[in-house]
Amino acid sequence: MIEISDVVTQALRNNEPIVALESTIITHGMPYPANLETALKVEATVKAKGAVPATIGIINGRVHVGLTADQLELLASLKEPCLKTSRRDLPYVLSQKLNGGTTVSGTMLVAAKVGIPIFVTGGIGGVHRGAEETFDISADLTELGRTPVAVVSSGVKSILDIGKTLEYLETQGVCVATLGPRSEFPAFFTPSSGFQAPYRLDTTSDAARLVQHCLAFNTGSGLLIAVPIPESSQADGEAIERAIRSALTLADQQKIRGRDVTPFVLSQVNLLTSGASLTANMALIEHNAAVGAAIAVDLARLRGSS
């Protein structure tokens, strides 16, 4: 059910630094061709930092770890429906031989199965606004509570309830730390959310040691390393918030629910901000890839010396 590319197989065998990458950003997160351009840039960034990129996706019911350029193009340009695939969806997508973009949850699960401890994404899912009525809470959070993979992201998407998301991560026993001079938890498009992260790390070496000890202690849970978007790339926080509120109202009016909410809202926010949010999204995922690759390199060095 899982096909690992020759490049990733060799890297695993040689204990080289590897960075897992999701495919939902390709299939649902951005329009074509921006999605493909971003995927290729992210992989190039990981390589430039000395690590091996392993983009994970599902094609015709087969999980691929280390998508080729042709496979990336296929997923990016598909006209027929491609399912957002989390832990819940994997058995169905595989059994029906469908195409799927793996979410944070789905990518973490596959990465853990093949032995990749570092995973980079733009932002994880979380507790949706109004969850006290809808109970709409992303499977990404429970996955972090039970799968030993370190996720590097720019916090959670700002369309979500960040405060409740941090509370839920605490309940799940997930270690959360920001990386950099700020202890404030980032809000995806902007470095500030108004909420403090439990811990702060100064360097990628510090982050690698945290990952090493989390895995060695065998807590059974993952960890979240939150990397703020560079200030040069951040979007206008107030404009983003206005756009989010408008998009959420429209989603409610159109009765959009469940897995369809996030891609719809992100698309509307991009429209309402005249593309500013998409530009910020592309910049932050590339930045996260560079940081995640550096952590993977430091982790491989630590493991080699221990």
Is 79 part of the annotated catalytic residue set? no
Catalytic residue among 84, 143, 157, 286: 157
pLDDT at position 306 is 66
pLDDT at position 267 is 86
Catalytic residue among 22, 43, 143, 286: 22
Separation CA 280–CA 123 (nearest Å)? 12
pLDDT per residue as tens, the chain (306 positions): 899 999 999 999 999 999 999 999 999 888 899 999 999 999 999 999 999 999 999 999 999 999 999 999 999 999 777 999 999 999 999 999 999 999 999 999 999 999 999 999 999 999 988 888 889 999 999 999 999 999 999 998 778 999 999 999 999 999 999 999 999 999 888 888 999 999 999 999 999 999 999 999 999 999 999 999 988 888 776 787 788 889 989 988 998 987 788 788 888 988 998 888 888 888 999 999 999 999 999 999 999 876
Is 170 part of the annotated catalytic residue set? no
pLDDT at position 189 is 84
Beta strands in 137-270 (DSSP E): 150-153, 175-179, 199-201, 223-226
pLDDT at position 145 is 98
Q: Does domain 1-116 have CATH number 3.30.465.10?
A: no
Residues 6+ apart with CB under 8 A from 306: 212
Separation CA 265–CA 268 (nearest Å)? 5
CA angle in degrees (0–180, nearest 5) for 25-27-31: 80
Can you identify the CATH homologous superfamily of domain 122-305? Indigoidine synthase domain (3.40.1790.10)
3-class secondary structure, 124:
strand
Question: Which is it for strands 175-179 and 2-4: parallel, antiparallel or unpaired?
Answer: unpaired
Q: Structural domain boundaries of the chain?
A: 1-116, 122-305
Domains 1-116 and 122-305 share a fold: yes
H or E element that contains 138: none
pLDDT at position 8 is 99
Question: SS3 string of 186-217?
Answer: CECCECCCCCECCEEECCHHHHHHHHHHHHHH
pLDDT at position 237 is 67
Separation CA 82–CA 99 (nearest Å)? 5
Separation CA 240–CA 260 (nearest Å)? 20
**Do residues 117 and 148 lie in contact, with contact meaning Cβ atoms separated by under 8 Å?**
yes
Residues 6+ apart with CB under 8 A from 269: 159, 240, 243, 244, 247, 277
